[in-house]
């Protein structure tokens, strides 16, 4: 189901990711950049750690050394020279004092060197930290990690996508909306590798499709709950052209709600063709549902009115009104439908369209909505719809939700439509 649409969208993801894959740096180029950067870092580190102590520290050490030497010289000049034994003893004492002075000077120098060593260590650590931060900021792989998607990068690919969607029976305004949404989500994005752009593109497409399908809807189950509380039957009027499977769909809807515990009644309000009355009667008998009908040529509004009166009298929760299939351009028949609407005041008018007709179904829904107002949509033959154009477009164009999809010929072959289900069908594995 929707294989063609799925293929088109996945193809777009592949094309955009391939576009950026051509611009990635080869692995050997990355290694060369890393080695060159590391060598430059080692050279810088060596020049810093191998340099002399900063000038301020050096001058302090020199001043301390000079001061010590000057004090020693002054001490020798002030000490009087003695001859003989006293001179010898005095000379020895001075020598000891000098040794002590030199020892103190040496200790002071060792201490200073220790402090200098600490400074060198701190300087090296600071240099390493600065180097790391510089590498982080400049980015060895800056080309890859900071590649930004521009409008120019994806314009041609998105144009191809728009053309492909139109070929798949997607309405023009829907195709344009999808393309603009994807562009808005992708342009300006920063990517690191090919997988990133593929993921971003897929998410952008999923977002666009989800927004297209997200149309405010009335919950039939909720409306039925209220009908039980009030005793007033829920009135559903079905419209559409001949050949879409409208009569069979009514039988499917009746079966669907019988399984939920509700009791419907069918109104055979298509009185323009005797065959139509026989057909809906056949379906009603097979599923065990009461049918209200008049003879051919009777007033369709009168048949619908009688069906509603029967449901009220018998406590039945639903009235399903079949109407004559007609082209949306037939003004007289459209007026007849408006009369049914005025008489029974249906809670919902449901358009039944053939998914295989694509844009034709969208245009039919638009015309019926303009004539009588449509509250919801049922698409038949969805299981055979490979394109998916009608399912994607119809609700967005007339701003009405898809309620059910017909998926086969049996009475149970119908499902409540959920937008997330279709998104999964298109993007799921």
Mean pLDDT within 81-91: 43
Contacts of 279 (CB under 8 A, 6+ apart): 247
Task: Work out the pLDDT band at 134, boundaries 50, 70, 90.
Answer: very low
Q: Are residues 236 and 337 in the same domain?
A: yes
Q: Are residues 202 and 311 in the same domain?
A: no
Mean pLDDT within 17-38: 54
Q: What is the pLDDT of residues 380-392, one digit of tens each?
A: 999 888 888 999 9
pTM reported for the whole predicted model: 0.71
- Torsion angle of the four alpha carbons 295, 301, 306, 308, in this order, in degrees rounded to the nearest 10: 140
Q: Which residue has the higher pLDDT, 304 or 100?
A: 304
Q: Which of residues 90, 109, 140 is at a domain's end?
A: 140
Q: Which residue has the higher pLDDT, 80 or 212?
A: 212
| Highest mean pLDDT pick, 2-16, 68-82, 125-139, 171-185 | 171-185
Q: Which residue has the higher pLDDT, 41 or 235?
A: 235
At 22 the pLDDT is: 59
pLDDT higher than 60, residue 91: no
Q: Are 273 and 194 in contact (CB under 8 A)?
A: no
Mean pLDDT within 185-211: 87
Task: Work out the pLDDT band at 55, boundaries 50, 70, 90.
Answer: very low
Q: What is the pLDDT of residues 212-241, one digit of tens each?
A: 999 888 889 899 988 888 889 999 999 999
Per-residue DSSP letters for 192-254?
Answer: SSHHHHHHHHHHHHHHHHHHHH------HHHHHHHHHHH-PPEEEEEE--TTS-HHHHHHHHH
What is the CATH number for 173? 1.20.120.140
Q: Are residues 307 and 354 in the same domain?
A: yes
% of the chain beyond a pLDDT of 70: 69
Q: Are residues 176 and 71 in the same domain?
A: no
Mean pLDDT within 32-45: 50
Mean pLDDT within 317-341: 83
**Residue 155 tokens, joined:** 């314009």
Task: Work out the pLDDT band at 204, boundaries 50, 70, 90.
Answer: very high
Mean pLDDT within 313-337: 83
Q: Which residue has the higher pLDDT, 156 or 28?
A: 156
Task: Work out the pLDDT band at 325, boundaries 50, 70, 90.
Answer: confident
Q: Are residues 171 and 285 in the same domain?
A: no
Residue range of the domain that includes 164: 3-25+146-213
**Residue 16, exposed/middle/buried by CB under 10 A (0-12, 13-18, 19+)?**
buried
pLDDT higher than 90, residue 129: no
At 429 the pLDDT is: 65
Weakest mean pLDDT among 107-121, 171-185, 238-252, 292-306: 107-121
What is the CATH number for 316? 3.40.50.300
Q: Which residue has the higher pLDDT, 101 or 425?
A: 425
The per-residue pLDDT of the chain, averaged, comes to 78
Q: Which of residues 213, 230, 262 is at a domain's end?
A: 213
Task: Work out the pLDDT band at 202, boundaries 50, 70, 90.
Answer: very high
Q: Are residues 251 and 337 in the same domain?
A: yes
Residue 188's φ and ψ, nearest 5 degrees, are: 95, -10
Task: Work out the pLDDT band at 275, boundaries 50, 70, 90.
Answer: confident
At 3 the pLDDT is: 85
At 328 the pLDDT is: 54
Q: Which of residues 99, 124, 140 is at a domain's end?
A: 140
Number of structural domains found in the chain: 3
- Cα angle 192, 196, 199; round to 5: 170
**Residue 320, exposed/middle/buried by CB under 10 A (0-12, 13-18, 19+)?**
buried
Q: Are residues 47 and 152 in the same domain?
A: no
pLDDT higher than 90, residue 401: yes
Q: Are residues 290 and 321 in the same domain?
A: yes
Q: Are residues 298 and 331 in the same domain?
A: yes
Q: Are residues 323 and 253 in the same domain?
A: yes
3-state class (DSSP) for residue 381: coil
Mean pLDDT within 302-311: 96
Measured CA to CA, the distance from residue 240 to residue 359 in angstroms comes to 15
pLDDT higher than 90, residue 320: yes
pLDDT higher than 80, residue 32: no
Q: Are residues 185 and 277 in the same domain?
A: no
pLDDT higher than 80, residue 329: no
Q: What is the pLDDT of residues 152-186, one digit of tens each?
A: 989 999 999 999 999 989 999 999 999 999 999 99
Measured CA to CA, the distance from residue 346 to residue 185 in angstroms comes to 42
Q: Are residues 105 and 192 in the same domain?
A: no
């Amino acid at each position: 189901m929707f294989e063609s649409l799925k293929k088109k969208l996945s193809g777009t993801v592949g094309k955009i990711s391939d576009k950026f894959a051509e611009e990635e740096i080869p692995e050997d180029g990355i290694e060369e950049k890393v080695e060159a950067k590391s060598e430059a870092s080692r050279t810088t580190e060596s020049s810093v750690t191998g340099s002399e102590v900063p000038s301020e520290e050096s001058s302090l050490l020199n001043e301390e050394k000079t001061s010590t030497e000057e004090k020693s010289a002054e001490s020798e000049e002030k000490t009087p020279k003695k001859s003989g034994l006293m001179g010898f003893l005095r000379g020895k004492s001075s020598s000891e004092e000098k040794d002590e002075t030199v020892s103190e000077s040496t200790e002071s120098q060792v201490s200073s060197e220790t402090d200098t060593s600490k400074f060198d260590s701190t300087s090296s650590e600071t240099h390493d930290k600065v180097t790391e931060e510089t590498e982080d900021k400049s980015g060895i792989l800056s080309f890859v990690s900071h590649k930004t998607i521009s409008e120019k990068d994806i314009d041609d690919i998105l144009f191809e996508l728009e053309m492909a969607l139109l070929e798949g029976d997607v309405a023009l305004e829907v195709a344009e909306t999808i393309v603009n949404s994807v562009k808005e989500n992708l342009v300006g994005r920063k990517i690191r590798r090919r997988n990133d752009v593929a993921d971003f593109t897929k998410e952008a497409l999923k977002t666009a499709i989800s927004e297209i399908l997200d149309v405010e809807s009335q919950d039939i189950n909720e409306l039925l709950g209220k009908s039980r509380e009030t005793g007033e039957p829920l009135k559903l009027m079905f419209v559409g052209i001949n050949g879409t499977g409208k009569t069979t769909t009514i039988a499917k809807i009746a079966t669907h709600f019988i399984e939920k515990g509700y009791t419907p009644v069918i109104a055979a309000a298509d009185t323009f063709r005797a065959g139509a009355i026989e057909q809906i009667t056949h379906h009603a008998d097979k599923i065990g549902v009461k049918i209200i009908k008049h003879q051919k040529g009777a007033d369709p509004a009168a048949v619908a009115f009688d069906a509603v009166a029967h449901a009220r009298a018998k406590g039945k929760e639903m009235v399903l009104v079949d109407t004559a299939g007609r082209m949306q351009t037939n003004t007289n028949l459209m007026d007849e439908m408006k009369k049914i609407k005025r008489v029974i005041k249906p809670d919902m008018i449901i358009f039944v369209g053939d998914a295989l007709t694509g844009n034709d179904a969208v245009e039919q829904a638009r015309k019926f909505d303009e004539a009588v107002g449509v509250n919801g949509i049922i698409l038949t033959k969805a299981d055979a719809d490979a394109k998916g154009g009608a399912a994607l477009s119809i609700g967005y164009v007339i701003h009405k939700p898809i309620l059910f999809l017909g998926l086969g010929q049996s009475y149970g072959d119908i499902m409540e439509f959920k937008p997330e289900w279709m998104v999964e069908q298109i993007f799921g594995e």
